[in-house]
Amino acid sequence: MNSIQTKRSSFFGGIRDFFFAEQAPYGIALVRMFLPAIALVPMIRRFGRVRELFSTDGAPTQLFELFGQGTPLPVLSPSFAVALYGIMIFALLCGVFGFQTRLAFLIGAPLYTYFNLLDAVSTMTKYSVIATHVLLILAVSECHQVWSIDAVLKRWKDGRAASAIPPRVPVWPARLIQILFCFVYFGAAITKIQTQAFFSGEQMRYWMLSNWNYANPVGEFMATSTPLLLISGYITVVWEISFPFLAWRPIGRYFVLGIGLMFHFMTSLSLGLWIFPLICISCYLAFLTERDIVGIRRFVHRLRLPTSLLGLPRFAIARAVEMRPTAIPVSMVWLALATLVAVGAAEADYRFDLYGVRTHTGLMPLKTLDREVALTMINNSRPLREKDKFFSFDIGSLLVGGQLANRLTEYGYGDTIVAQCNVNPPHEDLWVEVAIVDSEDRLIDNSGQYVTRDALWANFVYQTGNKMVPGDYWMILKSAGKEISRRPFKLTGDPTTLPPMAPILTN
């Protein structure tokens, strides 16, 4: 009985220590400084479009509308929307510097969530969902206890009673951010496991070759290597599944966080993502412990970097705040500045007048769309060309995970020729043929197979025998009786070295 109680108390004691062990809040303070700053980059760029995206003068599309739940959020007039948008930017900037941090996040986080929910078409993204959760955690944390204007003001107020030892607070806010990412990665892995196109490399290839985000020339180059896509896909899934189990282990933590840094860095190069990787990497700072910070400080001191310059902005702002009359609370100063920012934002929108509301000609007229273009966009009856249904056609000799792993143009007798066509989704059931012709366009062999609507590729395997003479040949892809693409190859060697055999073109 005593052993059972001991195990039970040890179990709950471990959970209590996991969430409520006290540490200096360095990691959560770093998240406070980096994440809001990164989240503000796209929001500041949208400041000039507040009237269009988030007000009654524009066309906001709430997230709830996409799920048929109506429009529960109020849509404000342009002046009020711009004023609140300005307050949101001001509040999150105050959170970065740690000026009235809790008040700033309690105001900035709901406003950030509100504006994201109000524009589900462009503003609401995966990274904004993660940022919303983390901002709410920061609002109830003690992230202002170190490296903040609030900490500087408190130290000056305490005077000689202030200690050089940083305050220690429960670690549960950092744990919540860590758990959030464990669920994000594990859920992403479960989704990928159920997606066949991910493990075949097709999905990754389409992402890399697209420019949906920003230009990604590195991704376009990587998309040509099927083995690299396959290896990357399997490594990604294994890493995402193992993340929750290794993130808190002494050695495993460095392993999964290191791979995570490489993963998000590569998504920037290969997929053209910028804000999402930076948001995730900034949240990795919540995994840093006191020992990690001590090690980083020692390393920085060895490099003799002027780290004291990083504290100048918060000390300068703190000095300016200290110049206020002592009868005025700091919170009142913050609210006064927020009010000034709101008025300034509304005035800026009024002065810019991007849509010509107050010009002598009146509101800018909408441009008339060409009638033929409009009819094409509404009802495009032009049939899809047969060749547009296919993404690529290549020949090689090696398959990895069903995908062509190499590309060859020269074969010897006895070699295996693999012809692979990749099909663009969505597509109907297709009858696809592959023919071999010689340099004089004489048919040597021909074979076909159905490519069903759920398939993304088809393979044709040809075993070279001694039926063909050495020379130049073409492998031709056909669909619906039309030539789609052709690839040249050369057959070399001595046909007498092989026993007689008939060429077979099969799937």
In CATH, what number is assigned to the domain containing residue 398?
Answer: 2.60.40.2550
Strands lying side by side in the sheet with 482-492: 410-412, 482-492, 471-479, 430-438, 443-451
Cis peptide before 426 (omega within 30 of 0): yes
Spatial separation of the C-alpha atoms in residues 212 and 43, rounded to whole Å: 19
Residues 50, 116, single domain; the answer is: yes
In degrees, rounded to 5, the angle at the alpha carbon of residue 197 between the alpha carbons of residues 195 and 199 is 80
Is 376 domain-assigned? no
Answer with the one of 312, 343, 374 that is the final residue of a domain.
Answer: 343
Global pTM? Answer: 0.84
Is 370 domain-assigned? no
Q: Based on the structure, what is the number of domains in the chain?
A: 2
Is 47 domain-assigned? yes
Spatial separation of the C-alpha atoms in residues 104 and 87, rounded to whole Å: 9
In degrees, rounded to 5, the angle at the alpha carbon of residue 28 between the alpha carbons of residues 24 and 32 is 130
CB 422 within 8 A of CB 391: yes
Q: Which residues contact 437 (CB under 8 A, 6 or more apart)?
A: 443, 444, 473, 474, 476
Residues 64, 200, single domain; the answer is: yes
Residues 393, 338, single domain; the answer is: no
Per-residue pLDDT of the chain (507 residues; tens, 9 = 90+): 455 555 555 767 778 888 898 989 999 999 999 999 999 999 999 998 998 899 998 889 999 998 888 889 999 999 999 999 999 999 999 999 999 999 999 999 999 999 999 999 889 999 999 999 999 999 999 999 999 999 999 888 887 666 667 889 999 999 999 999 999 999 999 998 888 778 877 788 888 887 777 778 888 888 878 788 888 888 999 999 999 999 988 888 899 999 999 999 999 988 888 999 999 999 999 999 888 888 888 888 888 877 777 788 888 988 988 888 888 899 999 999 999 999 999 999 888 877 777 777 766 777 888 888 887 777 766 678 889 999 889 999 988 877 888 889 999 888 889 999 988 888 889 999 999 999 888 888 899 999 998 888 899 998 887 678 888 999 999 998 899 999 999 998 877 666 655 554 544
Residue with tokens 């409009």: 374
Residues 395, 339, single domain; the answer is: no
Helix (H/G/I), strand (E/B), else coil: 437: strand
Q: At what angle do helices 101-118 and 78-97 cross, to 10 degrees?
A: 140
What's the start-to-end Cα distance of the chain, in Å?
A: 67
Structure tokens at 170: 């429960």
Structure tokens at 3: 């052993």
Strand partners, 390: 423
Residues of the domain holding 499: 389-506
Of 277, 279, 265, nearest to 35 by C-alpha is 279
- Continuous segment of H or E residues that includes residue 106: helix 101-118
